Amino acid sequence: MNNPNHVTSTSLSADISRRVTLGSLAVIIGQGINVFRQIVLVPLCLWVWGVQLYGEWLALYAMIAYLSILDFGMQMYVVNRLNQCYSVNRLSDYNRILHSALVLYLSIAVVAGIFISGFIVSVPIEQWLNFDLMDHSVAAVVAILLAVQLIFSIPQGLILGLYRTFGEFPRGATIRNIQQILIFGLMALTLLLGGNVVHVAAIQLIPLAGVTAFVLSDIRRRRPEIKIGFKEADWSLAVTFLGPSLLFFLIQISGVVTIQGSMLVVSTLAGSAYVAVFAVHRTLANFVRQIVGALTNALWPELTSLEAMGDYYRLRDVHRLFVKVSFAICVFAGIWLHFVGRDIISLWTRDRISFDQQLFDVFLLYLILQAPWLASSVFPAAFNQHRNLAVCYIVSSVLGLTLSVLLFRFFGIAGVAMGVLIADLLVCGWIVPFQTCRMLGESIRRFWFEVVMRGQPVILAVWGCAWVLQSIMLSSAGRILTIGLTTGLLGMVLGYVFWLDKTERLQVLGAGMALWNKMMNRTW
């Protein structure tokens, strides 16, 4: 009881729980801001500009958005390296890596900015995109302003990522949220004042510059040991970032290929009319992943720190708990959506999209069965040991699209989703958890028993309750609310009591207390 190591361990676990909980809350708030922003700005742009000009704005934005690939996955890799150095107090290495990364980032930004600006000015982009209202000068100015914003948001992302490296992810996420609010507010104000596309594109640069200046000042004031600059830059070191970073880039690209590729398969084989049906069903099923994604973003820097300190005992505990919680969230949400998906899509689209139960259930199975390996994949990614993970992503993506084409012949557009699901299970579903368990020195049999088998009675109980409720509820709104609340509350209670072990219950309780204290104190 008086073992000092026990005290330290308990304190550290509580501290991690607090940071992860607050960080997750900040990420969820950020997602809410983005949703609210879309809800408000879309009708506002249509009201001020009209359908044609707004469509031309979206076309330019979509074209410029591809410049995000200039990051090449470096932010993930470099921030992980910085986190590892700070965790073991290697500050000289920290500053050298930071300076080298900043020089590389800014060099890419400046060269890309000059090249892209020249390209935009010299080519008839307004003709390529079939514009009717924007002439060449307006289209070029808007495209350059959007490109500058996107290109220089890449080094800004690295600077904001520094908060992750010294255990202040919630603060960094909050600053990012404030930037999004400023962009949204300035865009809305500009539109209300009758601003044109050039004004709206230009106004977004103000929050980018202002928040960057604040972050630089804030870090210098609160973390004087971190020297942001270029003095210790090492080009030979900077070049070594490119190889591992490209693996992160391939992971990102593989996800895009799977998402957009499956849409193209549906469009090609079934026709464009079915694309909306496919996309709406997938969007509703994937909405749950945003919650798990918030947990992932907040937990990531903690995992990097624990691995740098060699604390694999705690990493094994966190691994089981995080995968278990992610899996449980997706299972309970999947049960709820199975019984109310028809009602939600009917209300959401005002019956303009026909509901396909088979297609939706395949997407829900994909959501549920992907949850364990997706949560497990955060660990090698956070450790910068993501080579095998990148290979799994690429193989799964290619195999999934191939199977989608084959299965379409037998199951229609549901077969496209089945192809992605089957490839996901065959490749990532078992390889990623196995490799993570081996990396952490954890028994794979114990892992699967704790994550899946231990929760089966809880899953069956929640399913049975939802099935009974859907058979007696008459109104759509009643089913959505009643089954949702019952599934969530019953799942939390039974999951806490029977699915979690004693240590995990204490960790979850600590996270809950951290959130409660945050809400009561209202301080960051």
Indicate whether 370 belongs to any domain: yes
206 and 284: one domain?
no
CA angle 240, 246, 249 (to 5 degrees): 145
- Of 217, 240, 263, the residue that ends a domain is 240
Cα separation, 10 vs 4, in Å, equals 10
Calculate the CA 312 to chain-centre distance.
25
- Of 429, 453, 477, the residue that ends a domain is 453
- Retrieve residue 24's tokens: 């997750």
205 and 301: one domain?
no
- Retrieve residue 286's tokens: 């994937």
Indicate whether 492 belongs to any domain: no
- Of 240, 265, 292, the residue that ends a domain is 240
Indicate whether 45 belongs to any domain: yes
Calculate the CA 380 to chain-centre distance.
16
Cα separation, 131 vs 55, in Å, equals 9
The DSSP call for residue 496 is I
284 and 156: one domain?
no
249 and 222: one domain?
no
Indicate whether 502 belongs to any domain: no
Are 387 and 445 within 8 A, CB to CB?
Answer: no
Indicate whether 508 belongs to any domain: no
178 and 210: one domain?
yes
- Assign 3-class secondary structure to 385-397: CCHHHHHHHHHHH
273: number of Cβ within 10 Å = 9
155 and 59: one domain?
yes
Indicate whether 327 belongs to any domain: yes
Q: Could you tell me which residues come within 8 angstroms of residue 48 by beta carbon, excluding any fewer than 6 positions away?
A: 191, 192, 194, 195
69 and 159: one domain?
yes
Looking at the structure of the chain, the number of domains it has is 2
Q: Could you tell me which residues come within 8 angstroms of residue 6 by beta carbon, excluding any fewer than 6 positions away?
A: none
Length of the chain: 524
Residue 262: domain span: 243-453
88 and 171: one domain?
yes
Indicate whether 514 belongs to any domain: no
257 and 316: one domain?
yes
CA trace torsion 445, 448, 451, 457 (10° rounding): -100
pLDDT of the chain, 524 residues: tens digit per residue: 333 333 334 434 556 667 777 777 888 888 788 778 877 777 788 788 887 787 778 778 767 776 777 777 788 888 888 998 988 889 999 999 999 999 888 888 888 888 888 888 888 888 877 778 888 888 889 889 988 888 888 888 889 989 988 888 889 989 999 999 999 999 999 999 988 889 999 999 999 999 999 999 999 999 989 888 888 888 888 888 888 887 888 887 887 778 778 878 887 888 766 877 888 888 888 888 877 887 788 888 888 888 888 888 888 988 998 999 999 999 999 999 999 999 988 887 777 778 999 999 999 999 999 999 999 999 998 888 888 888 999 999 999 999 999 999 999 999 999 999 999 999 999 999 999 999 999 999 999 999 999 999 999 999 999 999 888 876 788 888 999 999 999 999 999 999 988 888 887 776 666 556 655 664 44
Q: Is the pTM of this model over 0.85?
A: no
Are 490 and 315 within 8 A, CB to CB?
Answer: no
Secondary structure (3-state) at 325: helix
| Residue whose token pair is 């450790």 | 383
- Assign 3-class secondary structure to 58-115: HHHHHHHHHHHHHHCCHHHHHHHHHHHHHHCCCHHHHHHHHHHHHHHHHHHHHHHHHH
End-to-end, the C-alpha distance of the chain in Å comes to 32
Cα–Cα distances (Å) from 149 to 46, 64, 400, 524, in that order, read 23, 10, 35, 29
